[in-house]
Amino acid sequence: MKRVLISDAVDRKAADLFINAGYIVRYAPGISKEELNKIIHDFHALVVRSETKVDEALIEKMHNMEVIGRAGTGVDNIDVEAATRKGIVVMNTPGGNTISTAEHAMSLMLSMCRNIPQADASIKAGRWDRKLYKGSELHGKTLGVIGMGKIGREVAARARGFGMEVVGYDPLLTPEASARIGVKLVELDEIYNLSDIITVHVPLDDTTKHLINKVTLTKCKPGVKIINCARGGIVNESDLVDAINEGKVSGAALDVYEKEPPDFSHPVFHNPKIVTTPHLGASTEEAQEKVALQIAEQIISYFSSNIIDGAVNASSLQALSNARLSPYVRLAESMGMFLAQISEGKIKKIRINHYGELLAESNGLIASAAARGFLCKRQGEPVNLINSVLFAREAGIEIEEIYSISHPDYTNLLYIEFHSDKGLNTAGGAVFGNSALRIVSVNEYRIEFVPQGEMIVYTNVDKPGRLATVSSLLAKRNINVAGISLGRTGMGEEALTVVCIDGEVEKSLTGEISGIDGVKRVYPVKFSYE
């Protein structure tokens, strides 16, 4: 029975959903770091918000963990790379707080432009400062939206409702898609040059860290206003304060900070032109209930049906739900396993050639499967579809995928190449019917066999008697032959033989086969993850 730990203040309805699905749940918001380290090894799923820091040290103690779920958008409190290495799926709920965050961005925009927090504090202090807090209208102003994802698009729609002109920047959005939502797509420098107000809605990574800084602020229109409801660190807080003091920026509104809880001695919290809120973007009753239920449903679907939704480190695994594609995933693993056992030397590159429209839908899953098949025979630590490509690349192996719409002989065909410092080995594979896996070529040989069980693979000069001699050696050891497949380049030339057997291939047996006149290379092959 699966055990789920909820370590942050996630809506209790998530716990109820897990319990009703038959899981054992510990609801422990506010659990100490020491206690968390003690018990984490018992759990199969962990649900967090932003309070629990799921770092590499904690992940190393996760001996049974299969999935970490973040009830919210960002995952910067989770070491995704460490989780990937451990083979743990990391999920979030990117759409659950879209509306609440977009509305909060608009609230900050209005508060900043109309000086609402300052005026509220003034009147509660017994002052009537009408002239002091004269604001500015949104109507007719240009809003620059950096990041046109779900939240950015919702902000843009609301801003247009206020009569604002909206320009947006997003490297993934096409001008046509942008035009459909009434936003002019521009380059990043144009955002700075054109905008009266700039709002950021991008994730925090190496490319967006301190995106708004001293240099970019000098490119902005005089009197620009800055809003950050996304992630702390996108705006350089010290540079922002300096720009306000210099008169370059006329106001700012921040809901997120580089350090949370922040250092309240920082000038950003004492500047009267900066509106601040304590990370309230997703803090509505509706949003918190929505993300709690959403992450619980995603984890339950993963455990019960192997359906992966909202994964940040295993998005390709969502293709597993495609019943037509899943046999090719098993085939790719088998082919990777086969090539690993017949290849010599250090593997430098794995190239996966996809032929057919179906395989174009694999979204990297086939590559993960081929890498897993290879690494299970070469890697000491557990390998799965989540961490296989990471492990391969860390080992210095280049993973390359090539897609072609059609193949002259097969509707869908996998052709995998293993490039090593000692040569090239290849295999072609297809699925017959709904689930019959077949390897249909090995190197230059056209051959057909089922990739399962144990087998002896060898090359030999194409002359009579070689197979009979091998069969005789097997018979002496009481090893039954389950099937034989033959391929050759031409009469009397080199041939490839695959002998499927019932039993194990001992090292002494391969040595004897190698000693047969005309036999060149012998490889024992076993299809298993033992």
pLDDT one-digit tens code per residue, 267-309: 999 999 999 999 999 889 898 999 999 999 999 999 998 777 7
Copy the structure tokens of residue 528.
């298993």
Topology given in CATH for the domain delimited by 98-276:
Rossmann fold (3.40.50)
Between 132 and 491, the more confident residue is 132
The arithmetic mean of pLDDT across residues 23-27, rounded, is: 97
Average pLDDT, the chain: 91
Is the per-residue pLDDT at 178 higher than 80?
yes
CA–CA gap between residue 152 and residue 386 (Å, rounded) = 30
Strands of 342-479, DSSP E: 347-355, 398-404, 413-420, 423-432, 436-442, 445-449, 454-461
451-460: pLDDT as tens digits: 999 999 999 8
The predicted-structure confidence for 199-244, as pLDDT tens digits, reads as follows 999 988 778 999 999 999 999 999 999 999 999 999 999 999 999 9
What's residue 263's pLDDT? 94
Active-site choice (70, 279, 419, 466) = 279
Q: Which CATH number is associated with domain 3-95+286-313?
A: 3.40.50.720
Q: Is the pLDDT of residue 378 over 70?
A: no
Answer with the residue of higher pLDDT: 391 or 170. Answer: 170
- Reported pTM: 0.62
Does 382 have pLDDT greater than 70?
no
What is the dihedral sign for C-alpha 478, 479, 483, 486?
negative
| pLDDT-wise least confident of 116-120, 354-358, 477-481, 525-529 | 525-529
Domain with CATH 3.30.1330.90 in the chain: 316-452
Query: Any idea which fold 454-524 has?
Result: Alpha-Beta Plaits (3.30.70)
Asked if 309 and 298 touch (Cβ cutoff 8 Å), the reply is yes
CA gap 32, 49 in Å, rounded: 15
C-alpha distance from residue 474 to each of 280, 326, 421, 454, 509 (Å): 72, 35, 33, 13, 8
Answer yes or no: 279 catalytic. yes
- Which pLDDT score is estimated for 529? 61
pLDDT value for 498: 95
Report, as an integer, the average pLDDT of 33-59: 96
3-state secondary structure of 169: strand
Q: What is the pLDDT of residue 493?
A: 83
Output the CA–CA distances (angstroms, integers) from residue 213 to 169, 226, 359, in the order listed.
17, 11, 44
Mark 165-180 as b/e (b = at least 16 C-beta within 10 Å).
Answer: bbbbbbeebeeeebee
231 classed as catalytic: yes
What does the pLDDT read at residue 228?
A: 98
- List where CATH 3.30.70.260 sits in the chain: 454-524
Quote the pLDDT of residue 37: 96
Average pLDDT over residues 359-377: 86
Average pLDDT over residues 128-150: 94
Peptide bond into 278 cis (omega under 30): no
Give the CA count within 13 Å in the CB-facing half-sphere of 370. Answer: 29
Nearest CA among 411, 399, 416, 203 for reference residue 312: 203
Of 231, 351, 354, 419, catalytic: 231
- The tens digit of pLDDT for each residue in 480-519 reads 999 999 998 878 788 999 999 998 887 788 888 988 988 8
pLDDT at 267 (0 to 100): 97
pLDDT of residue 379: 52
- pLDDT exceeds 70 at position 377: no
In the three-class reduction of DSSP (H, G, I as helix; E, B as strand; rest coil), residue 496 is classed as strand
Dihedral through CA 279, CA 281, CA 282, CA 285, nearest 10?
100
Instruction: Sheet containing 89-92: give its strands across.
Output: 24-27, 3-6, 45-48, 67-70, 89-92
pLDDT tops 80 at residue 13: yes
Average pLDDT over residues 141-168: 95
Give CA angle at 58 (52, 64), nearest 5°.
Answer: 110
pLDDT for residue 248: 97
Enumerate the β-bridge partners of residue 457.
Answer: 498, 523
- The reply to whether 344 belongs to the active site is no
For 416-438, the pLDDT digits (tens) are 999 998 999 999 999 998 889 99
pLDDT of amino acid 321: 67
The SS3 call for residue 313 is coil
Query: What is the pLDDT confidence band of residue 384, given thresholds at 50, 70 and 90?
Result: confident
More confident residue, 199 or 469: 199
| pLDDT given for residue 308 in this prediction | 79
The side-by-side arrangement of strands in the sheet containing 398-404 is 398-404, 347-355, 413-420, 423-432, 436-442, 445-449
Where in the sequence of the chain do the CATH 3.40.50.720 domains occur? 3-95+286-313, 98-276
What pLDDT, on the 0 to 100 scale, is given for residue 381? 55
From the options 3.30.479.10, 3.30.1330.90, 3.30.70.100, 2.60.40.1080, give the CATH code of 316-452.
3.30.1330.90
**Residue 310 pLDDT > 60, yes or no?**
yes
On the question of pLDDT at 113 being above 80, the answer is yes
Q: 506-515, pLDDT tens digit by residue?
A: 778 888 898 8
Residues 488-522 as b/e (b if ≥16 CB within 10 A, e otherwise) read: beeeeebbbbbbbbeeebeeebeebbeebeebeeb
Is residue 476 packed enough to be buried (19+ CB in 10 Å), middle (13-18) or exposed (0-12)? exposed
Amino acid 323: pLDDT: 79
What tokens were used for 313?
């480190």
Task: Report whether pLDDT(88) > 90.
Answer: yes
Q: Which of 137, 260, 357, 506 is catalytic?
A: 260
Asked if the model's pLDDT at residue 380 lies above 60, the reply is: no
Answer whether 91's CB lies under 8 Å from 310's CB. yes
**315-336 per-position pLDDT tens digit:** 666 666 677 888 999 999 999 9
- How many whole angstroms separate alpha carbon 243 and alpha carbon 274? 12
- Say yes or no to pLDDT of 42 above 90: yes
So what's the pLDDT on residue 73? 77
